[in-house]
Each structure stands twice: as C-alpha cells, then as structure tokens.
Structure 1
Amino acid sequence: MGRPRQFDERQAVADACQVFWAKGFDGTSTADLCEAMGLNRSSLYNTFLSKEQLFRLSLVHYIAATTARQDKFLEVPGKSGLERLRILLTAIAEDEIASRATGNGFGCFIVNTITSIAARNAEIAHLIDADLQKRIAALSAAVQIGQTDGSINKERDPRETAWYITTVISGMRVSAQSGANKRILDALAEIALHALAN
C-alpha cells in the first residue's frame, strides 16, 4: 500500500493557479510550481502527472470560481435585468482595481489563456469554449429578464447582447491592465449599460 499524500491537493491546485495566472503556461517553470505548492518535483509529477495536466486543473479551478461569482451577481433577487448587469460590471471594475493595488494585476486568466496556449492545445480550447457558452447563456438569461421587466431594450437579441457584454468585460479587464482607473472603468460600464437600456 502506498503512503498517503501529506498535502491538500485542492489547495495545491489553487496555489498553482495563482502562478499560471501570473506567468502564463509558457512562463511558468516546474521550480515556480514547486515553490508555490510546497512540493518537490517528484510529488508534483506523481500527483499531477504533467505541467499540462496541472495547468488544466488550475484553469478548471479558476473557471469554477469565476462562474460562481458571475452567477451570484446575475441571480440577485428583486433586481431588474439591467441592474444585475450593472452589479456584475461594477464588481469587475472593483476586482481589477483591487488586484492592481495588491500587485496582482494579471488580468483575466481565461482571457490570458485564450491569447496563448488555447490556440495550440485542443483540450484547453474546449474548456475555454465550454465556459464561454455557459457565460453567454447566463448573460442571455439576464438580458431576457431585463427585457421582460422593461429595463433592457426588447429589440436587442439576447445572445448577441450577451456577447457584447462579454466583450465589454474583456475590454474593461485589458483597460485596467493598461492603467485605467476606477472612474474610467465605471464610465465604460455605464456607457455599455446605457446602450442596452430602454
């Protein structure tokens, strides 16, 4: 019988996620991962098999956390569809400014992955696409709620509008990385929301 592992695998993946998020797949070394996870090379590879597998697990961890957070903002009871989107965009702006203030202004791990390893790794690309489709569906549902309650223009196609919101979110994150302050990010959000309102 093998000796039981003496570390929390979920925490190890969370720690690896922070490294991959900061440095990307190509910029992350095994030594970086070992240091962040508190593991030696043997334990890392015996448990997670490869850097690629650990990256995939890290991405799944990040996707689960960000999806849960988005859903929390889009499912606030008693709020109009437009207000739910305002809450989401406000949170995005606050997250980006807070991350930059603590020296962790790495942008969105998903966006970073789309522009790097996803182009050459079919499994990672599939994970990204599945996540995107879930986000589009959730945003589409929020738009439809807004169209029903009268806060969002009924002439807008919900799915196309969801893509627009996703693009705005990505743009806000990139703008934050480029130095946009909270006032600018809030203004971007308000301009987007104004475009949707009745």
Structure 2
Amino acid sequence: MGRPRNFDADTVVDRAMDAFWTHGYANTSPAQLAEATGVGKGSLYNTFGSKRELFDLCMTRYDRMGTDLANEVLSQPGTAKERLRAWMRLVVDSDLARPVRRGCLVANTAMELGGHDPAATTAVTVAVEHMIEAFTARIQQGQRDGDVRADVDARAYSEFLMNTVGGLRITTKVSDAETLYRIIDTALSTL
C-alpha cells in the first residue's frame, strides 16, 4: 500500500508549468521541478510518470487556461476590434509585469521542440488552433454585429492575428509597452 499523497496535483502542475515556462523543457531539471513544486522527485514521478508526462499536462493546462481567458475577454461588451485589442494588451501587460519576461509557453515550446518532437508539435498546434477558433468566433460576431466588414475572411484574419500574437510574446522579452501597443494597433488597423 502506497503512502497517501500530501499535495494537490493541480497545484503541482501549475508550479511545474511555471518552471517549464521560465526555463524551457530541456533546461528544467528534475531537481528544479522538485524545488518548484515542493514535491520530491520520487513522488513526482510516481504521480505523473515522467518529466515528459508532467510537461504534457502543463501544456494542456496552459492551453485550457489561455483559451478560457481569451474567451472571457473576447466575450465582454465592445466591438471585435476593442475586445481583440483588450486581449492582446492584457497578454502584453502580463508579460511586461513579470520580473522575468517569459513570453508564451506555447511559443517557447514551438521554438524549442517544434518540428522535431511530434508530441510537442501537436500540443503547440492544438493550442494555436484553440486561439484561432476564439479569434474567428469573435470576428464573425463582429460581422454579425456590423463592426467588422463582411468581406473579411475571419479565419485568415485570425491566423494573421495569432501569428502577430506569437511575435508579440517573443518581442515582449525585449521591447517596451509603447512599441508593443503600436504593433497591436497596426495589426488591428485593417479589421
């Protein structure tokens, strides 16, 4: 009979996600995970299987949290452009407020593991698709509401915005708010 678990699995995943987000997958050691989560390596691996399985859980959680936040912000009153601007600024402001500018876990994973790690590539693709779907739904709502031109291809524009967001999340590591806000305004200027 195993010992009872003395930790909340969701809290451990959140703390591990912060470690992976800050250091990347390869640069996050089992010792760092144990320190970040407050759970011994043996207990971590008995519960989550492996570093990779824990990382996969972190990616799924990050995707869900990001999609939920985007949908919450995008569903508030205002035009499509206003809501998309609010979400993009929220993301930028969140990155800028941190002592260590980490950017986006999905973008970081795409740069570190994308293209040569099939599972990571799939996780990135799924997370990106969820955001594109959220943007597309909001642009289509804007078209129904009359604040977005009917001739805008909502899906294509959402793909463009997602690419812009990925760039913003990387650029946030080295730029100031004024520059980042200008990029947001330029990206939304044709909507």
Which range, TM-score by smaller chain?
Answer: over 0.9
* SS across alignment from 1:188: helix
Q: Which moved more, 1:181-190 or 1:105-114?
A: 181-190
Distance 1:105 1:136 in 2: 24
Listed one character per residue, the Cα deviations across residues 101-133 of structure 1 (whole Å, up to 9, x for unaligned) are: xx2201100000111123233222222222222
Q: Which residue of 2 aligns with 1:186?
A: 181
Asked if residue 73 in structure 1 is aligned to residue 73 in structure 2, the reply is yes
Asked if residue 145 in structure 1 is aligned to residue 141 in structure 2, the reply is yes
Given that residues 85 and 184 in structure 2 are in contact (C-alpha distance below 8 angstroms), is that contact kept between their aligned partners in structure 1? Answer: yes
Asked if residue 119 in structure 1 is aligned to residue 118 in structure 2, the reply is no
Q: Which residue of 2 aligns with 1:95?
A: 94
Listed one character per residue, the Cα deviations across residues 140-162 of structure 1 (whole Å, up to 9, x for unaligned) are: 11111222223223222110000
TM-score normalised to the size of structure 1? 0.90
Give, in angstroms, the shift of residue 54 of structure 1: 0.8
Give, in angstroms, the shift of residue 44 of structure 1: 1.5
**What value does the CA root-mean-square deviation take over the aligned residues?**
1.4
Q: Which residue of 1 aligns with 2:152?
A: 156
| Identical residues among aligned pairs (%) | 30
Q: Which runs of no fewer than 5 residues in structure 1 stay unpaired?
A: none
Equivalences for residues 36-115 of structure 1 within 5 A: 36-76=36-76, 78-99=77-98, 103-115=99-111
Q: Which moved more, 1:148-157 or 1:53-62?
A: 148-157
* SS across alignment from 1:105: coil
Listed one character per residue, the Cα deviations across residues 62-105 of structure 1 (whole Å, up to 9, x for unaligned) are: 111111111111111x3222221121122122112112xxx220
Listed one character per residue, the Cα deviations across residues 13-55 of structure 1 (whole Å, up to 9, x for unaligned) are: 1111111001111111111111111122211111111111011
Distance 2:100 2:59 in 1: 17
Q: Which moved more, 1:118-127 or 1:51-60?
A: 118-127
Given that residues 80 and 145 in structure 1 are in contact (C-alpha distance below 8 angstroms), is that contact kept between their aligned partners in structure 2? Answer: no
Q: Number of aligned pairs?
A: 191
* SS across alignment from 1:7: coil
Give, in angstroms, the shift of residue 166 of structure 1: 0.6
Which aligned segments of 4 or more residues in structure 1 are displaced greater than 4 angstroms? none
* SS across alignment from 1:27: coil
TM-score normalised to the size of structure 2? 0.93
Q: Which runs of no fewer than 5 residues in structure 2 stay unpaired?
A: none
